[in-house]
Each structure stands twice: as C-alpha cells, then as structure tokens.
Structure 1
Amino acid sequence: MSARTYRAIIIDDEAWIRDGLSKHIGWERLGIELVQIFEDGQDALSFLLENPVHIVLSDIRMPNMTGLELVATVREEAKQRKHLSDMKVIFLSGFGDFKYAQEALRLGAVDYLLKPTDVEEIEEALAKAAALVGNTNDITNNRTSTSMSSTNTNGTSSLEIADLIEEPASYLIKKALGMMAATFTEDIHLSEIADELCVTPNYLSRLFRQETGKSFSDLLSDLRMEKATELLRTSTLKIYQIGDAVGYPNARYFSEWFQKQTGMSPGDYRKQHVL
C-alpha cells in the first residue's frame, strides 16, 4: 500500500457493474480507499461538492446527469472549490462511439475504457490516476480554459496562451488562440475561426504571424502534439485512437506527422516516456 491513501468513488447505473468494481478491484493494494458508490450522476455531484475525492470511476450515460455533464460541472465548480481541482476521472463506458472519448479527453479524463474491461486494465488506469493526483501543473485541468501547456520529458508545466505572444496582444489573437485550445481535437480550419471573429482568413493569418511568430497551422500542430504526447504517457488508448482524439483520424498520417515532429514513432515515444 502506498504511503498516501487516495479517496475514490464509483458511479454507474448498473448494479452488477457497481458490485463487480467494488469487490474485484484491488483497492487497498493500489493505495485507494473506495469511499462511496453511486448509481446517479446527480447524487455523486452533491457528494463531490462537499467531500474531497481524488479519483472518480464513472460511466458515461446515466439517468439525470451523464458522466460528461458531471465532470464539466465539477471543472466549473473547481474555480470556487479548491478540493475539486485535483480530481482525476476515468470513464468506463459501453458505448463505442469515439465522440464520447474525445469529449471525455477534452474534459481532462485520465482514461476512457470500453466495457467489458479486464480488472487489470482498470487497475492500471487507477494507478495512473493516483500517480497524477497532486500534480498541480497537470494540463488536463485546463482544457476548458484559454490555456495551453508546455511539456518536457521531466514533467508538465502550464503555459497561458497569453504568454505565447508579446504584450500588448490583440483581443482577436487572444480570442482565436482560446478557440483553438477548445477545439484543436476537431477538424478546425483558419477560415472557420476567422468567420467566428468576423475577419478575413488572410487578415487573421497575418495577425498570427505578427503576434505569435507562428502560423495558424504551426500553433494547431503544437496544441495537438502537447495532447498527443500527454495521452501517450498517461493513457492506455491505442495509438490510432490517440491520433483520432487529437484531430488526425488517419492512423498512418498521424504516425508520420508524429515522427516528423519528434524524430520517433508514437510507439517508441510511449515506451520511453510512459509513467
């Protein structure tokens, strides 16, 4: 058992899942205390708002409040309730639509596992979640804000989007960078952001160059690389799933892009940097 005990809850609307997870996971061996079990996201939220919990193992689709809605609410409440800011989430879902996984990852989930899942796989995800607890610079807590992160092989540090550009930065560029940070996992284009900001693509392109020293495509690539390397280090997702999650649904293209950016394949990077 680890020196520190981490508090965890389970949320799932199926009784046999709740029972199986509570009985068959080696909680004590992992240094985790299972403090509560819920069948409803709303009830779990009420508990989380008032009680410190380090790890949440949750289903996606549940009555009254989905797992995604729960975590989105928690992330918002964390601005006022500090005990929520270090909570790590693992989603366990029977739905294979990867759009759920993409949204889960945007909300800062440590992992997304599809049912049925082996006990060993769940325990591995729990161990990784526990390892991440306490890392106040964890970039997964910033997906809904206008911030990006800068990582290196020794750890993770937070980098505000405003820090990418010399002050005074224009409102348009700050807004554009915030939009990119929120949507970089999707198939986004400069023209779409320009349209949202009511400017021409050529004008916005010039602003990116002038105020960041980089093109839109370079900045988008930086965002995707940050998330890709994070997922390779901390998740059990397949490499093609990680590519899809960061906006590259073509697995071969993702691998070639990653190789070009880092000098190594995604698989080799994972081997060298896995937690």
Structure 2
Amino acid sequence: MQKKYLAPAKLNLFLHITSRRADGYHCLQTVFQFIDLNDVLMFRIRDDGKLSCKSSAINLPPEQDIVLRAAKLLQQYTNLGVDIEVEKNIPMGGGLGGGSSDAATTLLALNHLWELNLSIDTLAKLGLSLGADVPVFIHGHAAWAEGIGESLKPISLEEPWYLVVHPGCSVSTAEIFNAKDLTRNTKPIIMSEFIAAQTKNDCEEVVRSRYPSIGQALDWLNQYSQARLTGTGACIFAAFNTYSDAKKVMNNLPDKWQGFIAQGKNISPSIIGV
C-alpha cells in the first residue's frame, strides 16, 4: 500500500550574511516560513532492501536525486527498501527549497514507515549532510535561523498571502555564494529589528547584476508591495493581507513571467500528516 506525504516550499523572509567560515560556508541570519505549495511524495515499502525513486522532474540523474540520497542515509538502520514517486510542483532552482523539502519529507516518512524511531534531532543532523535547508523542514516549524541555517528557533508569524513570481530563469546558489562582490559582513540583528522590517536579502544586489530578468521582476512587484528575493532566487515574493489583494496584482503580471499565490504557513504538513 502506498502512503502519501507532502513536502512544502519555503520562503526566506530576509537573508543576511554575517561572515564566511574557513570551510567556505557562510554564516547567516534568516527567517524561514513555509507556504502551501507542496511536492507530493508516495512511498511503498518493500522487503527486499531495494530503493527506487521516480520523479516528475525532467532530466534528473539518479546520482543527483536528493530523495534517493536521503533514503540511502536511513537505510543504514534497516534491511527494508522502498519505492518512491515524487510529483514536483515546486519550481526547481527557484529558491523555494523544493529539493531540501523532499529530502526532509523522505527522512520523516521513512523513519515512520520503517519504524526506526529516530529522534527529530537525529534526523536533522542526518539531513544537514544533504543540505543546509533540510533541518528546518525536518523540524517543521517557521523559524529564526542562524549558523549555516541549521541553528533554529521556532517562531510564530502572521500567515499572509504571498504572490510569488518566477522570472523564468534558474539561479546557481553556488555562483552567488562564491561571488566576489557578495556582502559577507552584515551586522547581526535581533528579533525586534526583523519585526521592524530592518532587513534585506544580501544576495539581491549580486543576483540583480547577473540576472536582469530578476531585477526587472523585483522592480515590477515593488510597485505594489515590498518585493524580496527568496534565498538566492530566482523566485521573488511580496506579502498581501488577503488573497483578493494578491490576486489583483497577479492579474497584472506580465505574460513573460509565471506567478502563483500561496499562503504562509508556520507548521509544515510533513509533520501534520496527510
């Protein structure tokens, strides 16, 4: 019997880079909030120890499939196997965390389905080896994040409606974080400064200089509400009080870009269940 699990997208409500570590990773501050756009993962347990994953993602080599890598990480604790099917709804390369979310949901689902009884902290440590964004999806709560993104403090936020715009390009996270002109010395802030909107995305200036379509989309969306890059992009977003407000702006979206409306969520459906 197949079991269904959801893997939500996320937004970085701001992103400050405070320093660069000796190992090349960046220390940052950010706030993660989920949105109600989800990939759908189906799991069918098998007893022969074999692992397989079929994804609707186009041209995804098995060795690059983070879902399969997550399953292999947990297989050290069991002799069971699994067949996984992934329905991709979250745009790839958009800064919405789809791959990390899929990996986290795989760890959560198989921990349950394989009856491993590993703690959330153990799953988060395993997930960190797959990507810096995986732990927040494991913990499943909107969070203030520091370190490389793995030091998390759950927070409760308003859950506005977001208009998310994809300018039609894909951004290389490695390219942006390795850019010589990236700001890496932003002064750390405290929660009250975030609440007072004294924040930005340090990657925006670098992304604008390399991806003109993203800069154009940011300028367009800024006409209606403060626009922000999520992660390193390519997606941008702005918050609105109601679905109707977001819809009115989306109706004016230029045809050359894609967009969708999603509500912010503080709790991930991955830990709620389906």
Q: Please state which band the TM-score falls in when normalised by the shorter chain.
A: under 0.3
Give the number of the structure whose residues are more often strand, by fraction.
2
TM-score by length of 1: 0.27
Q: In terms of Rg, which structure is larger?
A: 1
Q: Work out which structure has the larger RCO, using CA pairs closer than 8 Å and 6 or more positions apart in sequence.
A: 2
